[in-house]
A = this chain, B = another copy of it.
Amino acid sequence: MNQFVFHNPTKVIFGQGCISNIGEELARAGFRKILLTAGGGSIRKNGVYSQVVASLGEAGVEWEEFWGITPNPDLAKVRAGVEAARACKAEALLSVGGGSVIDATKAMAAGCREDDIWAFIAQSIPVHDALPHFTVLTISATGSEMNPFAVVTNEAELKKWPLIGPALFPRVTIIDPSVQLSLPWQQTVNGAVDAISHVLEFYFLGSDQETTLAIDEALLRTVIKAAEALREDPADLAQRSNLAWAATLALNGLSGAQFDGGDWTSHTLEHAVSALHPEVAHGAGLAVLFPAWIAQVHPQHSAIFDRWARNVFGATDANAGLEALVATYHRWGAPLTLGELGLTREEIPTLVELATQGRRVGRVALLEPHEVRAIYERAF
């Protein structure tokens, strides 16, 4: 039985209409001047931006704005954000958007206190100091709104790597699931696949950690059930709420509590894909690569994969569970091969090198580079 620490200080305010709390939360914490960070402008269309600035104005919080954070946010953009925060003497950051906006803003928050943020990423140094960071979430997927992780891409070096540390927990996160009712179906799918993948990165490390295994199965079944309901009726607020809360819990420490960290091989393989192809959505890459990893690994670890198949899909064994997972993703319109994502087999050696750096990866199974290559090949 492993030791673990569970400590998640983020305050989550959840529910329809709760964006109006953001100004008061900032003001109560003593912040009078902030930098609002955002992506390409979707928050102007779905009404989130106007709710946020109305709340800031009402609470007497001044703000500057920093737009244009893209999916798979790049280090150069993070550095520009640090400059913007310093230029306006921001006392706190407020990210308004999905996982990429939140991740980039976490890196900015750390960068405001530490000069070379890439050194923290490259050397895996935990971040213990950062500017306070508040978030208003607009797409449930990455779980970044309630965890101490960020992923940043160094485009120049083709590296998409994590930044980790207790100072990266958002202080306050607002999740209003009603603003997600207008999301395109493919973004909903990408979010659901991302949440499922987060749980699975922990789950397969399990054996007799019944509490976490049972909670993880509950999260997996819930995400699938909610996504299926939203496929029928995208305006179902109850199911949108269930998907949103489950996606947050999928990577807030709960889903991996008894497992002492996760496996993360599928994420590492996906990060190589999107480092090479920044246009590939993280969830879409995972929909292809996680099943390929399961196919490669499950024969040597049948007990936990059989349990997963039985308790999540009511399937007889791991093979049948894998078929059910792939059928679910197919039914949702997620991609099933790397070819559909625009990759070619010629890129496999580069992917293997980016994912492994020539070393073995993984915990459920410790994979040699040639086994990683076999997973990429399965994914075509």
Contacts and interface: CB of A to CB of B under 8 A. Distances in A.
A295 interface: no
A314 B2 CA distance: 31
Contacts of A241: 1, 209, 211, 258
Which has the most chain B C-beta neighbours within 10 Å: A177, A212, A237? A212
Contact of A221 (B214, B219, B221): B214
Contact of A3 (B14, B211, B254): B14
Nearest to A11: B7
B18 A14 contact: no
State the main secondary structure of chain A at its contact with B.
helix
Nearest to A172: B7
Given A7-B12, A12-B7, A242 B2 contact: no
A263 interface: no
Nearest to A220: B214
A13 interface: yes
Interface string A1-19: 1111111111111111110
Contacts of A15: 1-4
Given A3-B16, A16-B1, A210 B237 contact: no
Size category, A interface: 35 or more
Contact of A215 (B6, B16, B209, B218): B218
Most buried by B among A1, A5, A8, A208: A1
Given A5-B14, A6-B12, A12-B5, A214 B209 contact: no
Given A217-B218, A254-B254, A258-B241, A211 B5 contact: no
Given A1-B237, A218-B218, A238-B1, A246 B14 contact: no
Interface in A231-258: 237-239, 241-242, 245-246, 249, 254, 257-258
A12 B6 CA distance: 5
Interface string A186-221: 000000000000000000000011111011011101
Interface of A: 1-18, 177, 208-212, 214-215, 217-219, 221-222, 225-226, 237-239, 241-242, 245-246, 249, 254, 257-258
19 contacts: A3-B15, A3-B17, A4-B15, A5-B13, A6-B11, A6-B12, A8-B8, A208-B242, A209-B241, A210-B226, A211-B219, A211-B226, A211-B246, A214-B221, A215-B215, A215-B218, A241-B258, A245-B258, A254-B254
